[in-house]
Structure formats: C-alpha cells, structure tokens
C-alpha cells in the first residue's frame, strides 16, 4: 500500500502504486484519494487532444523539454484508448517519451481503464488529483480526440490545446464537433507541410466568429484562443506554445477564473463519483442478495424478459430518501 | 411517436423514428422497447471490427451486396465514435453505402451516443432489438476497434469478424489485446498488398494455439475460427466471407449455441439496463431533492470536498433492500 506521506513528498514509486490502485478500480484507492484531495488544486492542468497521427506524443515530448527549461516539474497522463490494434504503436510513442525517465522532475504515466466503474474519465481525474498532491507544477493530459466522445478533457483541464495538421479540413470538423468551443490554444503541427498557413487562417477566422457570439452575451474577461504553428519533431514553435499555455494560466488566475473552473470541476467530479459509488454499492449488494439471484434465474428460464426484470429490480429493491 | 405495429411490419420510417428516440436517450423509448423485445431474437447478428483504415466500410458495402444475392434482408448499424475530427471521413464512407438506400430490404443506420446513460453500447443493443423485431435476417454492426475499449461487440453479436490489413503486425496486437479470443472470422483485407499470406499464416498459427488451450478445458463442440483474404474494393473473397458467416450461424444453431449466446446476452443486457435505470432513477430523484441541493451548496462553499460529499449522499440517501 502506498503511504500518503510518501505521495505528498512526491515519491514516484508511491505515486505509481497509488495510480495502479486507481487503474485497477481497487476499493483501497478511495480512502487514500480522500486524504490526498485537500492537498490538490495547485497544479496547472493542460489537456492536449487531437486525432491519431497529428503528432501529439512528439509534441508532448517537446513540451516536456520546454517546461523543464522553465524549471517546472511535469507529470504526464497519456490516456490510452485500450486499442486492440493500435496499442503497439502508442506504446512506441510512450517509449520515446521515456528519455525523460531519468529526470526526477518528470513523471509519465500511461492510463488504461481496467475495471473502474467510471472508466477512463474517472481514472484520469483521480490520477490528476494524485499527481497534483505530489506537487507537480504542470500536469499534461494527452487524449485521442477520435473515438472518445464521452471523455471530456475540457472538464478536467485548465487549458486545452487542440492539435491538427495542415490540409485535413480539421477546422471545419472542429466546428461540427463542437470542439472549437473547448479549445484555448489551437496547434497546427507538422507546419512545414503545405497548407499550414491556410489551416491557421481558417481556424483564426472561426475563433473570431465564435468569440463575437459569446462576447455579446458574456461581459466578463475572455481568453481569445490563439492559433500556433509547431513542428514538434525539431521543436519549432514549441517555446512559444509553452509560453502561451503559461500566459493562459496567468490570465485565468488574474481573473479568478481558476476558482470558477475549480467549482465547476468539483461539482462534475462529485456527480461522477456519485454515479460510480452508487453502482458499486448496488453491485456488491446485489451479488449477496437472494432476491436478485431469483430474478437472474427467471431471466435464464425466460419467465421474465431482461427489460421487465431490470425495471422490477429498480422499482422494488432501490429506495431513495 | 412510432407505432409498434408499423415497426413490426418492418416500416423503415417507423423504425428510424424509434431508433432516434433511443439515440436521444428519450424516456419514451423504454416502454416501446419492452413491447418490441418479445419479437426479437431471430436475426443473425454479425459484428465487424478493426482499426480505422482497414476498409471496414467498403467491406460492409460488399457484404451487403453478397447477402442481398442470397435474398437476405439486411440492417446495418455503423457505430460512430463521435469523433471530433474523423467524423467527416466516416460520414463519407456512410454516404458510399447509401447506394443501397433505394433497396427496401436494406436499412442502414449510423449511431452516435447522445445523452443515453449507458452510452453507445446500450444504444446499439437497443437498436439491434428494434431491427430484429422489424424482421431483418441479418444485422451487421460495424465498430471501430480503436478507442472503444468499453464497447464489447462480441457480447452483442453471434459472429464477430475482425478485419486487419497485411503487414501491420495486427496478429500480435490482437493477442495482446485479447481480441483473438473474440473473433470467429479473421479477415485480411486489401489482400493484394504485400505480406497478406504472412498475415494469414500468423493469424492461423495463433488461432491454433488458442484452440489447443480451450479444447482441453471444454469438450463441447467448438467453432474453429477461419482466416480469409478479401479485397473489398473489387469484391474479391467477399462471397466466401458471406458463406463463412452463414455457416458459422448454422453451426451455432445446430449445436444449440445460439440459445446459450442468447442467455448470456440477456443477462448482460439485464445488468446494463439495471445500471442505466438506477442512474436515471437517482438523477431524477436528486434533481428534485432539497437535501441534494444542500450538499451541492456545501461543495461550492468548500464546506465539503466532492469525495466526502458523494460518499455522504450514497450512504444516507440510497437504501437497498
């Protein structure tokens, strides 16, 4: 079992053990998390998202170096989509990041959801709390934009960077998917490819349109998303990107928006915990219940269809007060 | 509101309306679904899965033509990963399939999860019930293998086809991801590319190893997964693929394995419904509860942290009996 005091001291082994408990959905994680929670809330959480192939991992790698130059302690959560096929390639990217493995101020964890009720979203949030309590200045969370509709990185991060590459019409796709609303920094990576300036132009225009809409209805100070070009492979533009993220964080703090974000996030976290704890409570109760067993048997013998059976259990065995 | 009798008659407009209710997570869907359920259980459900880019949609398209030649009525559920970026490309593939749009015996639906508690998995299962009750002989469900760790196609389908392309090391990845266990037919698509025979060989060997393991522990008749080469673009191998799926279905029926599959699926469906209905019941109760409001306020004022608050609500407001 990881010791709370070791985690709070930033001990990577203790942190890794704690995160493993979270990933496994172990009931042991919960009381520990409760103790760590009051020590969290200081880190700057950055989400990096985009389709496979836009070079997210290379960009993360370059960002780590940049933030290290600024003497920041960095933790990385790479959210693995538990892909049956692409797992290998992703692991390769992770390995590349391991060049930071000997740097004690950098801590990289690859996440997969195994068993936890709330899935990747809950596990990632819980892990961010641990890393935050460990004292990292910056937590970078990398997610795949595609195929994870339910994983809302914007609700976890202070700042969300959306990565695309030139000439894929990502700008228009971003509008369609509503992702334009969630981005604070738009990154056109592999910017030496043809069409980079057109991508920047299209994104800038769409951000302008988005902001005109919100400016009218909301008079409070508003961050205007920036569009940056990078070539992560040789580090081009990554210093500016790091600066941009840091000035976004300053902007949020100066306008008390970090507090507002925190309140929103806490309510969301509470609701997702409530769902997960409820399902866990029900699961362990049902497993021990002869009444539940009887219902399961009736489904097997076709005395009851699964829909009526579920309705019956919910109506008779779950009381709210 | 869609009429039950129209759905049972196979009316596509009524079916589409019903499926829309499911996708929207409308409470109206539930009582209708309950009425449709007894009329389901006749269709042969085939899952087709694989990474993006292996040509799944083209293969589906070719399979539809093949099954139509055999005079089967076909429904297709294309499970869309709600991708922020790749949405456009996927829609393009869907459009291609629309050449079947004028064929009354073919019904294609693209699914996205919007609001439904149980997410894509529940919505897809519910939709399969509707299509089954509409009288389709075959239901093809296409899912993206990557990024959908929680979506278990094998628990929905009678037969699962796993698509890969030559030279991507998919065989080894499949073993790692445990997907080898779930495949009934392995399809090496784009088989004119170099390395196709090596892929077939690697997959065949791994299936042999898998089967030796299970044969010892389970003496009941067991389907030996086949590995087929296709080139979906010009239809090469697709007739054999269609035959293989149909003979797998015959095999399942002959050995009463369809009944066994049905029982397993019904229990799984019951459990996922139980979770979803529980969360829905809790949500609507909490929204009207002053006690819950008081807890939310305490989170906002930091009198309570979200973890303790969730624990408190679960312990005091949810009673199981």
**pLDDT tens figures, B277-295:** 999 999 999 999 999 999 9
> How many other CB atoms are there within 10 angstroms of residue B228's CB atom?
19
Query: Which positions 30-49 of B are in contact with A (Cβ < 8 Å)?
Result: 30, 33-34, 37-38, 49
Question: Which one has a higher pLDDT value, A235 or A216?
Answer: A235
**Residue of B215 and A68 predicted with greater confidence:** A68
Chain A neighbours among B 212-271 (CB < 8 Å)? Answer: 263, 266-267, 269-270
Residues of chain B found within 8 Å of residue A147, distances taken between Cβ atoms: 81-83, 144, 146-148
Question: Mind listing the pLDDT tens digit for each residue in A239-249?
Answer: 999 999 999 99
Residue A11 structure tokens: 């001990």
Instruction: Note whether A34 contacts B112, CB cutoff 8 Å.
Output: no
What does the block give as tokens for A250? 């300053």
All residues of chain B having their beta carbon less than 8 Å from the beta carbon of residue A295 are 270
d(CA B312, CA B201): 57
| pLDDT higher than 60, residue B269 | yes
pLDDT confidence of residue A51: 76
Tell me how close the Cα of A69 comes to any Cα of chain B, in angstroms.
32
Q: Indicate whether B89 pLDDT > 50.
A: no
**Residue carrying structure tokens 């930091």:** B302
Q: What percent of chain B has pLDDT over 70?
A: 81
Is the pLDDT assigned to residue A174 strictly greater than 90? no
* Least CB–CB distance from B147: residue in A83, A270, A300: A83
The residue whose two tokens read 């399969």 is B128
**Other residues' Cβ atoms within 10 Å of the Cβ of residue A144:** 26
Q: Which residues of A touch B298 (CB under 8 A)?
A: none
* pLDDT greater than 80 at residue B96: no
pLDDT tops 50 at residue A82: no
CA A127, CA A121: separation in Å to the nearest integer? 10
pLDDT, residue A171, reads 55
Beta strand pairing call for A318-320 and B318-320: antiparallel
Say what the pLDDT of residue B83 is: 36
- C-alpha to C-alpha distance for B158 and B149, rounded to whole angstroms: 19
Contact criterion met (CB < 8 Å) for B82 and A30 = no
Distances (CA, A) of A62 to A71, A106, A230, B215: 14, 13, 10, 50
- pLDDT band for position A90 (cuts 50, 70, 90): very low
- Model's pTM, two decimal places? 0.75
Q: What pLDDT, on a 0 to 100 scale, did the predictor assign at position A177?
A: 55
Structure tokens at A293: 């067993």
Q: Is the pLDDT of residue B185 over 80?
A: yes
Q: Quick one: pLDDT at residue A182?
A: 79
Rounded CA separation B129/A87 (Å) = 32
Contact A255, A262 (CB under 8 A): no
Question: Which among A112, A172, A309 is the nearest to B270, CB-wise?
Answer: A309
Query: Mean pLDDT across the stretch B80-93?
Result: 43
The helix/strand/coil state of A237 is: coil
Mean of pLDDT over chain B: 84
How many other CB atoms are there within 10 angstroms of residue B80's CB atom? 21
CB pair distance less than 8 Å for B86 and A113: no
Cβ neighbours of residue B177 closer than 8 Å, sequence gap 6 or more? A82, A83, A84, A85, A87
Residue with tokens 């060997």: B205
Q: What is the pLDDT of residues A22-36, one digit of tens each?
A: 988 888 999 999 999
Give residue-wise pLDDT tens across range B206-242. 888 776 665 555 566 889 999 999 999 999 999 999 9
Answer yes or no: is pLDDT of B109 > 70: yes
3-state secondary structure of B183: coil
| Residue of A171 and B55 predicted with greater confidence | B55
Contacts of A119 in chain B (CB under 8 A): 150
Which neighbouring-strand residues pair with A44? A138
Average pLDDT over residues A104-116: 73
pLDDT of residue B26: 87
Closest CA to B314 of B279, B273, B267: B279
Q: Which residues contact B287 (CB under 8 A, 6 or more apart)?
A: none
Please give the share of chain A, as a percent, with pLDDT higher than 70: 81
Return the H-helix or E-strand segment holding B228: strand B226-229
Split at pLDDT 50, 70, 90, the class of A202 is confident
pLDDT of the residue at B146 = 45
Closest CA to A226 of A247, A194, A204: A204
CA dihedral A173, A77, A234, A161 (to 10 degrees): 40
What SS3 class is residue A80? coil
Domains, chain B, ranges and CATH? Answer: 38-257 (3.40.50.300)
Hey, which of A32-36, A198-202, A252-256, B258-262 has the most confident mean pLDDT? Answer: A32-36
Mutate to test the interface with A, among B50, B133, B148, B149 (most CBs of A within 10 A): B149
CB-based contacts of A102, cutoff 8 Å, min separation 6: none
Higher pLDDT, A115 or A291: A291
Confidence check: pLDDT of B24 > 90: no
Closest Cα in chain A, distance from residue B28 (Å): 14
Confidence at A75, pLDDT banded by 50, 70, 90: very high
Q: What average pLDDT is seen over chain A? A: 84
Q: How far is B278 from chain A (nearest CA, A)?
A: 6
pLDDT reported for residue B81: 55
pLDDT of residue A258: 85
* Tens digits of residue pLDDT in A116-147: 455 677 889 999 999 999 999 999 998 876 44
Residue A274: per-residue pLDDT:
93
Q: Residue A151 pLDDT more than 70?
A: no
Query: CB neighbours of B155 closer than 8 A, spacing ≥ 6?
Result: B264, B265, B268
> With bands split at pLDDT 50, 70 and 90, how would you rate the model's confidence at A53?
confident
- What pLDDT does residue A81 have? 55
Task: Say what the pLDDT of residue A89 is.
Answer: 40
Q: Which residues of A touch B300 (CB under 8 A)?
A: 263, 266-267
A84 vs B34, B179, B281: nearest CB = B179
Q: Do B174 and A309 touch (CB under 8 A)?
A: no
Q: B51 and A85: CB-CB below 8 Å?
A: yes
How close does chain A come to B71, measured CA to CA in Å? Answer: 31
- pLDDT at residue number B184: 92
Confidence of residue B186 (pLDDT cuts 50, 70, 90): very high
B25 touches chain A (CB under 8 A): no
- Is A319 in contact with B314 (Cβ distance < 8 A)? no
Average pLDDT over residues A65-70: 95
Whether the predicted interface score ipTM is above 0.85: no
Is B176–A88 a contact, with Cβ atoms under 8 angstroms apart?
A: yes
Greatest pairwise CA separation for chain B in angstroms: 68
Per-residue pLDDT band for B2 (boundaries 50, 70, 90) equals confident
**Cα angle value B301/B306/B310 (rounded, 5°):** 125
Query: What element of type H or E holds B294?
Result: helix B290-300
- For residue A157, the surrounding DSSP H or E stretch is none
CB B101 within 8 A of CB B108: yes
pLDDT of B119 above 90: no
Asked whether the predicted pLDDT for residue B198 surpasses 60, the reply is: yes
Copy the structure tokens of residue A93.
């990217």
Cα(A110)–Cα(A118) distance, rounded to whole angstroms? Answer: 17
Q: What percentage of chain B has pLDDT greater than the value 90?
A: 54
Q: What is the pLDDT of residue B148?
A: 44
Tell me what the mean pLDDT of segment B180-189 comes to: 87
Give yes or no for a contact between A70 and A242, defined as CB atoms under 8 angstroms apart.
Answer: yes
Residue B167: pLDDT over 80: no
**Residues in a beta bridge with B109:** B77
Integer Cα distance of A164 and A59 in angstroms: 11
How would you label A230-263 residue by residue, b for 16+ Cβ within 10 Å and e otherwise? bbbeebbbbbebbebbbebbebbeeeebbeebee
């Amino acid at each position: 079992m990881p010791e709370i005091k070791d985690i709070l001291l930033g001990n990577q082994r203790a942190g890794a053990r704690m995160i493993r408990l979270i990933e496994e959905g172990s009931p042991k994680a919960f009381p520990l998390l409760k103790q760590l929670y009051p020590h969290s809330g200081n880190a700057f959480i950055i989400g990096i998202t985009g389709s496979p192939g836009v070079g997210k991992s290379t960009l993360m790698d370059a960002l780590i170096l940049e933030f290290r130059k600024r003497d920041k302690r960095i933790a990385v959560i790479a959210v693995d989509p538990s892909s049956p096929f692409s797992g290998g390639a992703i692991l390769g990217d992770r390995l590349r990041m391991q060049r930071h493995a000997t740097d004690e101020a950098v801590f990289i964890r690859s996440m997969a959801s195994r068993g936890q009720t709330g899935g990747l979203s809950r596990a990632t949030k819980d892990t961010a709390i641990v890393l935050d309590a460990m004292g990292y200045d910056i937590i970078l969370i990398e997610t795949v934009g595609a195929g994870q509709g339910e994983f809302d990185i914007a609700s976890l991060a202070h700042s969300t960077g959306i990565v695309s590459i030139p000439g894929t019409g990502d700008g228009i796709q971003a509008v369609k998917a509503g992702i334009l609303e969630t981005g604070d920094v738009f990154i056109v990576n592999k910017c030496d490819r043809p069409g980079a300036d057109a991508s920047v132009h299209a994104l800038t225009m769409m951000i302008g349109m988005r902001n005109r809409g919100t400016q009218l209805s909301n008079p409070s100070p508003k961050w205007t998303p920036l569009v940056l070009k990078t070539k992560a492979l040789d580090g081009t533009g990554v210093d500016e990107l790091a600066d941009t993220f840091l000035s976004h964080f300053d902007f949020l703090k100066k306008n008390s928006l970090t507090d507002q974000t925190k309140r929103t996030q806490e309510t969301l976290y509470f609701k997702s915990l409530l769902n997960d704890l409820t399902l866990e409570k029900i699961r362990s109760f049902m497993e021990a219940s002869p009444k539940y067993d009887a219902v399961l048997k009736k489904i097997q013998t076709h005395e009851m269809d699964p829909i009526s059976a579920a309705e019956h259990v919910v109506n008779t065995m779950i009381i709210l007060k």
